[in-house]
A and B are shown apart, each in its own frame.
Chain A
C-alpha cells in the first residue's frame, strides 16, 4: 500500500490540513507538537478500519471531534494498494458521509456502506494489516523489535527462497509431525508418561510372572523337601529301635547295683540309730554331773550375800540421819524467808498509800484551779460578748467628737447669745428646758437657729438667729447627730464611756487568755471530768486503805520514812533468800545420798532372795533325779550303748565295700545317656513327622490355589504388555525420527528463506555501523542478536538507541523486500531516533534514503534537523495554525 494524500477536516485540533506524500521515497512531515502529525496516522487507521462506519459512536471516533467548535470530523485519503488506486472519504456524523472513487484498475464510484464494504474487500484482498502495524514506529511505544512472522514478508521470502506454494500443507504436516512427536517425547527428548507407563505395565506384568513362578518353584522345593523328610523318617525309626534296645540293657545293670545299695543303706541306718542311743546315755550322765555342781554353787553364793548385807547396814543409817538434819534446816530457812517477804510487801503498800495521799491532794487542787479559771473565762467572755468596740471605733468617735467641738466653736463664734439673768428666783424655760434661775444667776444660751425663752405664765421670747448663724447651727447639729449615731452604734453615751468600755474589753481579753492557759496547764491531756474522776477515785482509795490494812505495825509518818523502811526490808529479804537456797542445795544432796544407799540395800535384798530360791531348786532337782535313776545305774547304761554302736559300724563298713565294687554312679550315668539318646531319637522323629505334616498341609493349601492357571494368565498378560509396548515404542521411535529428519531439513530451508531478509538488514546496517555488522534472524523473522566488531549481543542487551536503530533498519529491510510487488506497506516513523547521537543520525539518514528507493517511508517529526541527512526526502511543513493547504 502507498499513501498519496491525506486531508483532515475538523479533526481534533486541526480545522483543515492536506498533506501530499511522495509516492516512493521519503516524506518528512515536520511540525510542532500538537500540529497534528500523529493525527495523520490515526486518521488513516480510523478511515480504513472496518469497525468505524460513518455513523459510528465508537469512543475512538467521538474522541477525534474538535473540542472548540461543533463540527463533524472528516478524513479523505488517496491510496494505492495492489492493483487498486482510490480516493476514500468519510465524515463521521449522525448522518455521516462515505464516498469512494476508484481510479484503477477501472473506474468505480460508490457511497455509503457500499463504499465502506468495497474498501474493506479491497484491503482484505491486498493489504497485510499485520505488516502495516509492524512497519510503524510510534511515538512513545516500547522499543521491542518487530517480528514479521505473521506478515507477508514470509511469502516474499518464500518467493526469494524459491519455495513457492504448498506452505499451508507443509505447515499442517509439520504441526502434525510435531504433535505426533509430542505425544511420546518431551521437548528435551525424554520419554513421556505414555511410554514410561507402558514400560511400567511390562515391569508389573513381569513382576507378576516372577512372583507366581517363585511360588510354584517354592511348591516344587517343598515337594522335594517332603520327599527327603520321608526318607529321613525311615532312618530315624531305625535309630529309635536301636536306642530302645541299648537303654533296656543299661536298666538291668542298674537294678542289680541298686540292690547292693539298698543293703548298705539299711546297715548305715542301724549304725546311726545305735550311735544316737549311746550319745543320749552319755548326755544324761553329763546332766547328772551338772546338777550336782549347780547345787553346790548355789549354797556358797547364799552365804556370801548374807555377809555383804551385814557390812552395808551402817552406811544406810548415816544417810538417813544426814537427810533428816538437812530437811529441818531447809524448813527453818523457808519460814524465815516467808516472814520477810510479807513485811516487805506491807512496807511497799504503805509507801504507795502515802504517795497516793499526796497525789490525791494535787489532783484536787488542779481540779479547783480549773473550775476557777473556767469561771474567770466565762466572765471575760461575757464582757467580750457585750462590748464590741475596738480601737477603730474609738478613733471614729473621737473624730466625731472633735468635729462637734469644732462645729460648736464655729456656731458659738457666729451665733447670738441669750443671756437670762434672774432678777428673782424664778423658773424659766429655755428651749424647752426648764431652768430655775435664782437671783443673780445667769443662764447663757447660744442661739444657733432660734431659741425660746418662756417665763411660764408671763412671757415667751423667741430669739431667731441670722442666716449664717443658722448654717453654722445646722452644721453643728449634723456633727452632733454623727457623734450620736456612732455612740449609739457602740452602745455608749459618749467618748469617755467608749474609752472606758474599750479598756474593759482589753482587760477581759487578757484575763480570758490567762484562764485558758491555766486550764490547759492543769488539765494537761485530760478533760475536766476525767480529772475530777481521777481525783475522786484516788481519794476513795486513800480513805479505804486504813480499813484494808491488817497489821499491828504502825503506818510510817510520811512518804520518805515509808520508802526507807521498804528498801531496808527488801535488802533483808534478799539475804534470807540466799540462806534458803543454800539449805535447799544441802537437802537435795542428802536426799541423793540416801536414795543411793536405799537402792543398794534393796538390790542386795533381792539378790539374796533369788540365791536362796535357786539353792532350794537345785537341791530339789538333784534329789528328784537320783530318786528316778541312781548314779550307778546311769553309768552302766552308758557303757552298754557304746559297745552296740561299735558293732553296727563294723557291719556298715563291710556293706560299703561291696557297694564301691559295683560303681553304681557310672551305671546310672550310662542309663541317663541311653535315656537321652532314646528321647533325642523320639524327638527327632517327632519333629521330622511334624515338619512333614506342616509341609503337607501347606502344600495342600497352596495346591488349591490353581497357581498354574494364574501363571498362564500372568504370562499371557506379560506377552500382551510386551507386544503393546513394542508397538508403542516403534510408533514413538518413528515419530521421533520423522520429527528429527523434518526438523533438520526445515531448519536448512528456513536458513535459505531467511537469508535475503538478513542480507537486506545487514546491507542497511552496514551503512549505519560498519562492515562487521551482522544479525541473527530467528524463525519468527525477528532479529534476535546483533554482531558488531566481533561482539555478539542479544537484542535485549543493546542500548536503547541501538535497539531503536535496529528496529528501524529491520522495518526498512522488510518494507524494501515486500513493497516492489505492491503488497507492502509504508514505513511510518513517528518522532523516532530520539536516542541517536548526531553521527549515527547522519548514517541513519543515509540508510533511510537508501531504503526510500524501494519503499514508501513517512517520517513525522517535531525536530526538523533530525532528518536533515535523508538525502532524497520531500519535506512537508505542518504549521501550528491550521486551515492551510500544503503539498
Chain B
C-alpha cells in the first residue's frame, strides 16, 4: 500500500521581507504545492495523503486562505487527505477545523484526525492519530496514542506532530516525543510507520527506517536544511520504502561576502548572477570588510539591481560589518582647503574610533560630505 506523507504546509504564512509583489506569489506557491501533492498521489497511485500537523499557520488565518486550501484539496477528489491538528492549528475551542467556513466547505475527501481512535484505511491497514488539542500538551501525545491503541494485527500508521526528544534543546518539555518509546512500539510490531511533522527538513529518525519527518513542501526559512519535499511511502508487512519527492519551487539562501576590493564585489556579483529562478529566491547577505566611497556606491547599485530581480534581498545586519572610508583620491577631488580640509581630517579620525557607533556615524558624515561637496561643486 502506498501513501503520501507530508506536513507543515503552514498555509497563511506571510514573510515580512517579501514586498507587495512577492508575497502573493509566495502564498500562491504554497497552495499550488497542495495541488501538486494531490496530483503526485494520483500519479503514484497512493491510497491517501496524511498531513502531519500545522496544515495552517494558525487558527486565526484569513478565511480566504482556508477556502482556497480546501479548494486545492478538492481538485483531486479521489485522494483522501487526513489532516492532523498540530501546534500551530490545535483542535481547541478556536480551532479552524471547527470554524463555520471549514464545516461549510469541507469535501468528503478531507478528514480531520480529531482523536486517537484507530481508523480503518483498508483491509489490514489502520491509522492512529495523535492530534494536538491545545498549544501546550502536558505529555507525549504520540506515545499516549500508541498505548491507547494497544496491540494490533493490522499494519498500523501513527500520525503525529512535534519535536523528538533527541533533537530538542529543552529536555524538560513534557510534550517531547520519545524516539525510544516509538522504537519499542515498532519492535513490538504494535506500529509500523510513524509519520511525523514539525521539522521542516526532510529527515529520517532513529535506526528502524520507519520514523520520518517529511519536511515542509515549500521552504519557510533560511535555517531549513532540506525542505521542499514530500515522502511517498510504500508499506507492506515486513517492508517499508520511503521515497522523498521534491515539490517545492522557492529557495532561501544565505551568503557571506568579504569585501575589500573591486574583485570582491565582482565575486559577489557572480554569485548572485548564478542563482537560478531568481524571482523565487529569497537571499540574505552578510557583508564584511572595508570599502571606499566609490566601491560602496557600486555595491549599493549592485544590490539595488538584484533586489529588483530576486523575490527578496536582505542584508543581515547582525552579521554585517562594512566600513566605508573615502580613499585619498576621493578626498583630493573634493578640493577642500583650510578649515574644511581640517574638518574632513577630523571625520577620518573619528571613522577609526574604537566605538563602532561613533565610527559608523563618522563614516556616514564623511559620505554625506562627499555627496554635498559633489552637488555644491
Contact = CB atoms under 8 A, between A and B. Distances in A.
Interface of A: 163, 165-166, 169-170, 172-177, 180, 216, 219-220, 222-224, 226-227, 695-696, 699-700, 702-709, 711-713, 715-716, 719, 730-731, 733-735, 737-738, 741-742, 744-746, 748-750
Nearest to A216: B60
B94 A706 contact: no
Contacts of A733: 361, 364-365
Contacts of A172: 376-377
Nearest to B66: A706
B166 interface: no
Interface in B10-34: 12-14, 16
A85 B362 CA distance: 54
A58 B65 CA distance: 85
Contact of A708 (B12, B92, B361): B12
A216 B135 CA distance: 13
A712 B360 CA distance: 32
B346 interface: yes
B343 A745 contact: yes
Top 10 A-B residue pairs of the complex, sorted by shortest distance between their CB atoms: A706-B62, A226-B93, A734-B364, A749-B339, A172-B376, A712-B14, A708-B58, A716-B16, A745-B339, A738-B365
A212 to B, nearest CB: 9
Given A177-B372, A708-B58, A716 B343 contact: no
A704 B99 contact: yes
Contacts of A712: 13-14, 16
Interface in B357-377: 360-362, 364-365, 367-369, 372-373, 375-377
B96 A703 contact: yes
B249 interface: no
A692 to B, nearest CB: 8
B193 to A, nearest CB: 31
Given A227-B92, A741-B347, A163 B337 contact: yes
A174 B372 CA distance: 9
B92 A742 contact: no
Contact of B14 (A227, A713, A744, A750): A713
**Residue among B61, B101, B134, B368 with the highest chain A CB neighbour number at 10 A:** B368
Given A163-B337, A223-B92, A707 B376 contact: no
A219 B376 contact: no
A114 to B, nearest CB: 39
Interface residues of B, number: 47
A628 B353 CA distance: 141
A165 B100 CA distance: 80
B188 interface: no
A166 B93 contact: no
B354 interface: no
Given A173-B372, A227-B134, A704-B63, A696 B16 contact: no
Q: What DSSP secondary structure best describes chain A's contact surface?
A: helix
Given A166-B335, A176-B372, A730-B360, A709 B347 contact: no
B340 interface: yes
B57 A222 contact: no
Contacts of B328: none
Contact of A731 (B59, B65, B368): B368
A169 B343 CA distance: 15
A169 B12 contact: no
A220 B93 contact: no
A176 B376 contact: yes
Q: Most chain-A Cβ atoms within 10 A of its Cβ — which of B14, B59, B94, B347? A: B94
B342 A703 contact: no
A709 B62 contact: yes
A776 to B, nearest CB: 20
Given A173-B373, A703-B96, A737 B361 contact: yes
21 contacts: A165-B337, A170-B337, A176-B373, A176-B376, A180-B368, A219-B60, A224-B134, A226-B94, A696-B93, A700-B100, A703-B59, A703-B60, A704-B99, A706-B63, A708-B58, A712-B14, A716-B16, A731-B364, A735-B368, A738-B343, A741-B343
A6 to B, nearest CB: 42
Contacts of A227: 92-93, 133-134
B364 A730 contact: yes
Interface in B247-262: none
Given A703-B99, A734-B365, A738-B365, A719 B347 contact: no
